[in-house]
């Protein structure tokens, strides 16, 4: 059977806990307000979804300490709420799969996740998923794939914080709304948010043994890259379509069984139009909500918080409203659920998109038996490259559009394909998965970003360097430059990163007939790369 969701905890723009979130949903009350946490010279204070009580806590773009402290506070509160219904659970064996985008604070993001696990008393494995704004949904998808006898239960979800760099970056990209996010409607533009959403995820056997009742089950997950642009999705929505179809196949469902879609729906023209195209192609017309007008775009926590909203209302037979919707823009969904209303959502799809052209779709519904594939796999090639090797070996890529980490990743993928005899044809690129194990953002890109801020201030920072300051950037650049359109995951698990990546590669090949090959790469600009290519069969 598919893993059970047996507990959930949330921190969000309306406060701490499920009750505050449910009240806001039932009252159709937006949590957006003017930015007060910090001031940035030359930048306006746009509406955002701040967690209440945490204004004025960050002193400037270099104040990572307070940002990480807030993230720990949010995640600890969400985790404790998710575990409140399981006081008998032995936390010493409980793992944590955390999605986040937080900037570095003198340590890699795995250290942040480890500190959260320590505060919650968790003694199991700790894995970070960092695929930009799809991280929370990807973390839940990873829990679906990894749970089994060796890992019977985890906390999974996301946490993120609005920082000066993130706020200024989206402002420089011209993505922010002046009046507040209105998905699929007017005015166009996004509103940032922050918070945390964590779920207790258990195998059915583990849940039954302690008498747990499931809120819902994770049925299937799909991922895809659209190999198009560093910050914008492919206009035809092909990545969204592929991610949704992959999730349906993984769950053993057809499109007709999906009753509601919780869309990414950021409110920007590029995202909304492409996403609706992709969703419609994969599912046909469905009731489609976006919760960005309620919570803001909570970045790496967005998917987990939005799923929590859907489940809280699902218990009451209600569909979540798209707050801010007034008049449909061209390309809006046929049914954007502008107001809270009754409706079936036993099987729901939640999806998120991210910088680098990464898309993740997750199907949730009643517990059910799902037959997963059992194809064997084999290690077909391996290599290790230094940055110098990569600069010499890489070919056919635009070096101006990527940093050293991107070059290193592209060269490693190309070398593995050469060693295994795999030609990157269009078909091969669609049937190839990429798993990158990486704990630190490229020092080259961070240096470029800092230099642009020192020269021109936050309002004049380099938009390109900002886009490359996320862990997903090298994977996105590699997908774009080489035309890879299969699933993409970026993880870090400390010393276990490579082993976890290889474990996931074998799971993908075992369960996903749409894949022929999966490449795993351990990536570090200082130490180089270690790559493995696995084939089905």
User: Which pLDDT does position 37 carry in this prediction?
Assistant: 85
* Under 8 Å between Cβ of 97 and 127: yes
What pLDDT, on the 0 to 100 scale, is given for residue 59? 61
Q: How far from the centroid of its chain's Cα atoms is residue 2's Cα?
A: 20
The DSSP result for 295-349, as a single string, is H-B-GGGHHHHHHHHHHHHHTTTEE---TT--SPPTT--SB---S-EE---SSEE
Task: Give the integer Cα–Cα distance in Å for 142 and 148.
Answer: 12
Question: Minimal CA–CA distance to 352: which of 261, 457, 259?
Answer: 261
Query: In whole angstroms, what separates CA 479 from the centre of its chain?
Result: 17
CA dist 493 and 502 (Å) reads: 12
- Counting runs of H as helices and runs of E as strands, what totals does the chain give? 17, 20
Q: What was the pLDDT predicted at 129? A: 96
Burial classification of residue 68, based on how many CB atoms lie within 10 Å of its CB (0-12 exposed, 13-18 middle, 19 or more buried): buried
Helix pair angle (135-146, 497-511), 10° resolution: 70
In angstroms, the CA 78 to CA 304 distance is: 11
Query: Which residue, among 290, 247, 286, has the nearest Cα to 133 in the 3D structure?
Result: 290
Per-residue pLDDT of the chain in tens (537 residues, 90 and over written 9): 799 999 999 999 999 999 999 999 999 999 999 888 887 878 888 999 999 988 767 666 666 778 889 999 999 999 999 999 999 999 999 999 999 988 665 568 899 999 999 999 999 999 999 999 999 999 999 999 999 878 999 999 999 999 989 999 999 999 999 999 999 998 899 999 999 999 999 999 999 999 999 999 999 999 999 988 877 888 899 999 999 999 999 999 999 999 999 999 999 998 999 999 999 999 999 999 999 999 999 999 999 999 999 999 999 999 999 999 999 998 899 999 999 999 999 999 999 999 888 999 999 999 998 877 789 999 999 999 999 999 999 999 988 888 999 999 999 999 999 999 999 999 999 999 999 999 888 888 888 999 999 999 988 999 999 999 899 999 999 999 999 999 999 999 999 999 999 999 999 999 999 999 999 999 999 899 999 999 998
The answer to whether residues 453 and 164 touch, using CB atoms and an 8 Å cutoff, is: no
pLDDT of residue 104: 62
HSE toward the beta carbon, residue 446, CA cutoff 13 A: 14
The pLDDT score that the predictor gives to residue 243 is: 97
Domains and CATH numbers, the chain: 4-365 (3.40.47.10), 377-536 (3.40.47.10)
Q: Would you state the structure tokens that stand for residue 444, as one six-digit string? A: 């080259």
Alpha carbons 318 and 313: distance in angstroms, whole number:
5
If one counts every other C-beta atom within 10 angstroms of the C-beta of residue 209, the result is 11
Catalytic residue annotation: 133, 264, 297
């Amino acid at each position: 059977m598919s893993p059970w969701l047996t507990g959930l905890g949330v921190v969000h723009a309306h406060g701490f806990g499920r009750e505050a979130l449910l009240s806001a949903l039932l009252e159709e009350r937006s949590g957006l307000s003017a930015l007060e946490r910090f001031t940035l010279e030359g930048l306006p204070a746009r509406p955002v979804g701040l967690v209440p009580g945490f204004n004025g806590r960050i002193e400037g773009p270099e104040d990572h300490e307070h940002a990480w402290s807030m993230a720990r506070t949010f995640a600890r509160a969400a985790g404790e709420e998710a575990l409140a219904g399981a006081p008998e659970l032995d936390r010493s064996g409980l793992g944590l799969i955390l999605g986040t985008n937080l900037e570095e604070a003198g340590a890699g993001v795995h250290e942040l996740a480890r500190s959260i696990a320590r505060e919650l008393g968790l003694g199991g494995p700790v894995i970070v998923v960092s695929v930009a704004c799809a991280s929370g949904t990807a973390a839940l998808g990873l829990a679906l794939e990894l749970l089994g006898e060796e890992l019977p239960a985890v906390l999974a979800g996301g946490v993120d914080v609005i920082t000066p760099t993130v706020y200024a970056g989206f402002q420089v990209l011209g993505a922010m709304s002046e009046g507040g996010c209105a998905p699929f409607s007017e005015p166009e533009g996004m509103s940032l948010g922050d918070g945390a959403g964590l779920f207790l995820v258990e195998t059915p056997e583990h849940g039954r043994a302690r008498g747990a009742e499931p809120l819902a089950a994770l049925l299937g997950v799909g991922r895809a890259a659209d190999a198009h642009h560093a910050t914008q999705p492919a206009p035809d929505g092909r990545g969204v379509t592929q991610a949704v179809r992959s999730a349906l196949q993984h769950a053993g469902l057809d499109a007709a069984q999906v009753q509601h879609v919780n869309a990414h729906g950021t409110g920007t023209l590029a995202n909304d139009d492409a996403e609706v195209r992709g969703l419609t192609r994969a599912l046909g017309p469905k009731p489609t909500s976006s919760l960005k007008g309620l919570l803001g775009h909570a970045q790496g926590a967005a998917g987990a918080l939005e799923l929590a909203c859907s489940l809280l209302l699902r218990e009451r037979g209600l569909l979540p409203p798209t707050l801010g919707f007034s008049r449909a823009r061209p390309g809006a969904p046929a049914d954007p659920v502008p107001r809270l209303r009754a409706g079936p959502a036993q099987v729901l799809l939640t999806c998120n998109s991210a910088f680098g052209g990464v898309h993740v779709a997750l199907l949730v519904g009643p517990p059910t038996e799902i037959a997963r594939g059992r194809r064997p796999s084999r290690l077909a090639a391996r290599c290790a490259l230094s940055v110098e090797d990569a600069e010499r070996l890489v070919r056919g890529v635009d070096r101006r559009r990527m940093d050293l980490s991107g070059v290193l990743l592209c060269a490693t993928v190309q070398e593995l394909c050469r060693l295994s005899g795999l030609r990157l044809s269009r078909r091969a690129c669609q049937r190839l998965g990429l798993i990158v194990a990486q704990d630190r953002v490229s020092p080259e890109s961070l240096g470029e970003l800092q230099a642009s801020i020192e020269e021109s201030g936050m309002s004049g920072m380099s938009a390109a360097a900002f886009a490359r300051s996320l862990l997903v950037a090298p994977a996105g650049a590699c997908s774009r430059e080489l035309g890879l359109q299969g699933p993409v995951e970026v993880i870090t698990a400390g010393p276990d990163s490579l082993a976890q990546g290889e474990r996931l590669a074998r799971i993908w090949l075992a369960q996903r007939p749409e894949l022929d090959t999966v490449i795993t790469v351990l990536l570090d600009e200082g130490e180089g790369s270690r790559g493995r290519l696995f084939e089905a069969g």
